[in-house]
Amino acid sequence: MYAKVKRSLPEMYAFTLCLWIKSNASPGVGTPFSYAVPGQSNELVLIEWGNNPMEILINDKVAKLPFLINDGKWHHICITWTTRDGVWEAFQDGVLRGTGENLAPYHPIKPNGVLVLGQEQDTLGGGFDATQAFVGELANFNVWDKKLSSGEIYNLATCNSRAQSGNVLSWSESNIDVFGGATKWIFEPCRQLN
């Protein structure tokens, strides 16, 4: 079961990606998303596999993320990254949880790839491994081609922002095809918080 985003990401020198996620899978929630390009199946991947912490991979380089999300509750997570020095930040529920650098520095995210929700790609658009599949629900996956500020991310997580949509990828039903029994339904994150 997986979903495929209908269009590729562009070349990016920075990004912010945010999503709402809910899982009680143990050990590891699997792969919320993976982006593969010709010649590199791990161009941009979010994965929590086995007893490892959640990790972000860019061009096969890895940063460990300090997220604790497999409690069966909805969480808002955002990751920012810039190619300059490979600086990254990880936010959970609007709060900065970790930062680092040297994550694929000076490597722009490549265009013309395949973005899959719920599976880790070992080949372009395929090569799925059931042990790495995402177990849970995810929503409002948005991508920006810039680093959002901590204030902007806090406003997204607390539903105080009108600008909920990414300028590169905006979450909408029409942008996503589902396969293998994955289902779509309406999700209103701000109702979850009240």
Question: What is the average pLDDT across 127-139?
Answer: 92
pTM above 0.75, yes or no: yes
Name the residue with higher pLDDT: 171 or 44.
Answer: 44
**Shortest CA distance to 157 belongs to which of 140, 143, 136?**
140
Q: Work out the pLDDT band at 146, boundaries 50, 70, 90.
A: very high
CATH no. for residue 18? 2.60.120.200
Q: Work out the pLDDT band at 178, boundaries 50, 70, 90.
A: confident
Q: Work out the pLDDT band at 181, boundaries 50, 70, 90.
A: confident
How many domains does the chain fold into?
Answer: 1
Q: Are 38 and 152 a contacting pair, CB within 8 Å?
A: no
Beta bridge partners of 78: 18, 91
Residue 58: strand, helix, or coil: strand
Q: Are 43 and 124 a contacting pair, CB within 8 Å?
A: no
Question: What is the average pLDDT across 67-93?
Answer: 96
Domain that holds residue 144: 2-192
**CA–CA distance, 179 with 125 (Å, rounded to integer):** 12
